[in-house]
Amino acid sequence: MTMLNSILLLFGNLGTTELIIILFIVLLLFGAKKIPELMKGMGKGVRSFKEGMDEVKSEMEKPLEDAVKDAEKKDTDTKDNGK
């Protein structure tokens, strides 16, 4: 039921009748055999987008992690020299 609620929130104030009409028009335009192929292509696109976002995120976090490691190493070296 939560999946249905999520979908309905996505479409805002569209009622059941409007959604049925939209689905019927999509079915007429693309045909029953073409829709699964379209969804498969859309799924690949979404997956590729997510992978790209993860790659960008890791590239942004890497310099931060390196800076923290360098700071910890300098702190350790300073403590060792002070003894």
DSSP 11: T
Q: Which is more confidently placed, 30 or 11?
A: 30
The packing angle between helices 34-82 and 16-30, to 10°, is 110
* Residue where the block lists tokens 């039921």: 1
| C-alpha–C-alpha distance, residues 83 and 75, integer Å | 13
User: Is the pLDDT assigned to residue 72 strictly greater than 60?
Assistant: yes
Q: Give the model confidence (pLDDT) of 26-45 as tens digits.
A: 888 888 888 888 889 989 99
> Is the CA virtual torsion 10, 14, 16, 21 positive or negative?
negative
Q: Which is more confidently placed, 15 or 25?
A: 25
- Confidence (pLDDT) at 48: 93
Q: What is the average pLDDT value for the chain, to the nearest integer? A: 80
